Amino acid sequence: MKNVIAIDGPGGAGKSTIAKLLAKKINYLHLDTGAMYRAVTWAALKKNIDFKDEEKIIKIAEKSKIIFDQQGNIFLNGKNISQEIRNNKVNQYVSQVAAIKGVRDLLVEKQQDIAKKNKVVMDGRDITTVVLPKAEYKFYLTASLAERAKRRYQQEKVKNKNADLKQIKASIARRDKLDKEREHSPLKKAEDARLIDTTNLSIEQVMSKMIEIIEGEI
Ligand code: CDP
Ligand code: CDP
C-alpha cells in the first residue's frame, strides 16, 4: 500500500513524537490511533459507565465522532479533549476499552478509511499487523521499560511536580501486559516490520534511521 507508513510499539517508545515529525517532514498526515482509544475511554468515564459493560462501551464508541485538526488536536463530538485524554484515569482504563472487539472494529474501519484517502503516518499497537498490514513501510519501535518510564516521568513532571517514577513504571508495565496478552489484535511485532530499539537513541537518531530506510522512495 503506497503512501502509508505504519508504526507500532509499546508506550513511551517514541512512536507519536517520531510519527509527527516524520509526517511533517514528508508532508503526510499523522494519525495517532492511541488518541482514538483514549477518546472513547474518556467519553465512557464522563458517563460513569461500568467498564465491564462492553455493550455500553461499544454504544459510546458508535456515538463518538472523532476528528483531528491540522495541529493534531483531537475533538470528540466537537469538544477539544487533547489534554483530558492524557490523564491518569484514562491511562488506567484505556487498555480495557481497547480490548473490546466491537470498539476496535469501529475504530479500525475509521483508520483504514483515513489511509485510503490520505498519505499517512499512522502509529498505534496493531497498525502493522491488522489495520494496514500492507503498508509500504512498517516499523516496530521499542525501548527498555526503565527508559520508557523515565521518558514518561520527564513529560509528567512538567505538569505535576508529584509525579512518581515508580508508579509510572508500574502503570506502563501493566498496560504493556494487557496490550500484549489480549485476545483481539494484541501488540506484537509484524514479521516484516523493521525493529528499532530506541533505548539509547535520540529522537534525531531514530528519525535518521527511518528516513534512511524511506529515503529516495518518496
Ligand atoms: O501514549 P501511549 O503510547 O502510552 O499510549 P497510546 O498510544 O495513547 O495508546 C493508549 C492505549 O490504547 C494502548 O495502551 C492500547 O491499549 C490502546 N491502543 C490500541 O489498542 N491500539 C492502537 N492501535 C492504539 C492504541
Ligand atoms: O507514542 P509513544 O508512547 O511511543 O511515545 P512518545 O509519547 O512519542 O514519546 C515519549 C517521550 O519520549 C517524549 O517526550 C519524547 O520526546 C521522548 N523520547 C523519544 O520519544 N524518543 C527518544 N529516542 C528519546 C526520547
Decide: 168 and 153 in contact? Cβ < 8 Å.
yes
Provide the annotated binding site for ATP. 9-17
Decide: 40 and 47 in contact? Cβ < 8 Å.
no
Helix axes 165-181 and 145-159, enclosed angle (nearest 10): 120
- Rounded distance, CA 188 to CA 202, Å? 23
**pLDDT of res. 217:** 54
CA end-to-end span of the chain, whole Å?
13
The atom number, within ligand 1, closest to the CA of 10 reads 3
Q: What is the average pLDDT value for the chain, to the nearest integer?
A: 96
pLDDT tens sequence across 88-141: 999 999 999 999 999 999 999 999 999 999 999 999 999 999 999 999 999 999
**Beta-carbon contacts of residue 23 (< 8 Å; ≥ 6 apart):** 29, 30, 120, 121
For residue 49, with 0-12 CB atoms within 10 Å meaning exposed, 13-18 middle and 19 or more buried, which class applies? middle
Of 122, 114, 144, 145, the closest CA to residue 193 belongs to 122
Helices (H), 10-100: 15-26, 33-46, 54-63, 88-98
pLDDT for 52 beyond 80? yes
Q: Give the predicted TM-score (pTM) of the model.
A: 0.96
Which domains occur in the chain, in start order?
A: 4-200 (3.40.50.300)
pLDDT for 218 beyond 60? no
**pLDDT of res. 216:** 63
Residue of minimum CA distance from atom 6 in ligand 1: 34
What is the 196 CA–ligand 2 centroid distance (Å)? 13
H or E element at residue 140? strand 137-142
**pLDDT of res. 78:** 96
- Going by pLDDT thresholds of 50, 70 and 90, the confidence category of residue 1 is confident
Q: What is the mean pLDDT of residues 153-160?
A: 93
In this prediction, the answer to ipTM > 0.90 reads yes
Q: Which three cell numbers stand for residue 81?
A: 479533549
Q: What is the mean pLDDT of residues 40-52?
A: 96
Q: What is the mean pLDDT of residues 16-41?
A: 96
Bridge-partner residues for 107, per DSSP? none
Residue reference for cell 466537537? 78
- Rounded distance, CA 33 to CA 111, Å? 8
3-class SS letters over 165-211: HHHHHHHHHHHHHHHHHCCCCCCCCCCCCEEEECCCCCHHHHHHHHH
The percent of residues in the chain predicted with pLDDT above 70, rounded, is: 99
Q: What is the mean pLDDT of residues 174-201?
A: 97
Q: DSSP for 76-128, please give it.
A: ETTEE-TTGGGSHHHHHHHHHHHT-HHHHHHHHHHHHHHHHHS-EEEEESSII
**pLDDT of res. 139:** 98
Residue of minimum CA distance from atom 10 in ligand 2: 12
Q: Which residues' Cβ are closer than 6 Å to ligand 1?
A: 11, 33-35, 37-38, 94-95, 98, 124-127, 175, 179
Residue of minimum CA distance from atom 9 in ligand 1: 34
**pLDDT of res. 2:** 85
